[in-house]
């Protein structure tokens, strides 16, 4: 694992995830005001398609830069996925149980952090994309849950 990825995981490990949900402490994103709204947004097909498009954008850039490195995707993904999975379970278990959050919630967190780690692992070959910034929202205590406007001019929606 590259030092940049390890540092991102260390920052996430130290952070208090979801501790500032609903708090308007940024102008870089629109902040929604409830878990119900956040879950409704993160469960839409529009958000799913948006995230697939961002992942595909990164894959396309990586393939255009180095097919050889692109072909190492699984060998990079497996170790970061195991680190991410452990952390995701640890950091989401209590809030899922307390608020009875649906499986889509954990699915979204997992996708964000695994894609973040993969982008960081390739950062010496291809500039990180959308997901590299997602970890920062968890570190700041928020939950990314949607996008408004056309990408990249629009803005993220967080809780």
Question: What's the whole-model pTM score?
Answer: 0.92
3-class SS at 74? helix
Helix 103-121, helix 45-65: angle, nearest 10? 10
Write out pLDDT tens, residues 91-132.
Answer: 999 999 999 999 999 999 999 999 999 999 999 999 998 999
Among 51, 38, 66, 78, smallest CA distance to 123 is for 66
> In the chain, what is the greatest distance between 2 CA atoms, to the nearest angstrom?
45
pLDDT single digits (tens) 133-144: 999 999 999 999
Give the containing element (helix H, strand E) for 147: strand 144-148
What is the spatial distance between Cα 92 and Cα 101, in angstroms, rounded to a whole number? 10
Q: For position 40, what pLDDT does the model report?
A: 97
CA distance to 26, 83, 106, per residue, from 10 (Å): 23, 11, 20
The residue ranges of every structural domain in the chain are 30-148+154-158
Label the pairing between strands 144-148 and 155-158: antiparallel
Question: Helices 103-121 and 73-99 meet at what angle, rounded to 10?
Answer: 150
**pLDDT band at residue 73 under the 50/70/90 scheme:** confident
Average model confidence (pLDDT) for the chain? 95
Residues 56, 155: Cα–Cα separation, whole Å: 19
Quick one: DSSP state of residue 133? G
pLDDT of amino acid 74: 87
pLDDT range class, residue 90, cuts 50, 70, 90? very high
């Amino acid at each position: 694992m590259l030092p940049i990825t390890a540092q991102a995981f260390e920052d996430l490990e130290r952070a208090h995830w979801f501790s500032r949900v609903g708090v308007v402490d940024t102008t870089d994103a629109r902040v929604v005001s409830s878990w119900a709204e956040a879950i409704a947004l993160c469960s839409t097909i529009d958000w799913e398609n948006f995230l697939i498009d961002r992942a595909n954008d990164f894959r396309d850039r990586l393939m255009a830069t180095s097919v050889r490195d692109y072909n190492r995707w699984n060998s990079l993904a497996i170790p970061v996925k195991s680190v991410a999975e452990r952390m995701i379970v640890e950091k989401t278990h209590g809030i899922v149980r307390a608020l009875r959050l649906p499986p889509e919630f954990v699915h979204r967190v997992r996708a964000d952090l695994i894609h973040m780690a993969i982008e960081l692992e390739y950062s010496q070959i291809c500039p990180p994309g959308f997901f590299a910034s997602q970890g920062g929202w968890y570190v700041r205590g928020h939950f990314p849950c949607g996008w408004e406007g056309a990408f990249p001019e629009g803005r993220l929606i967080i809780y």
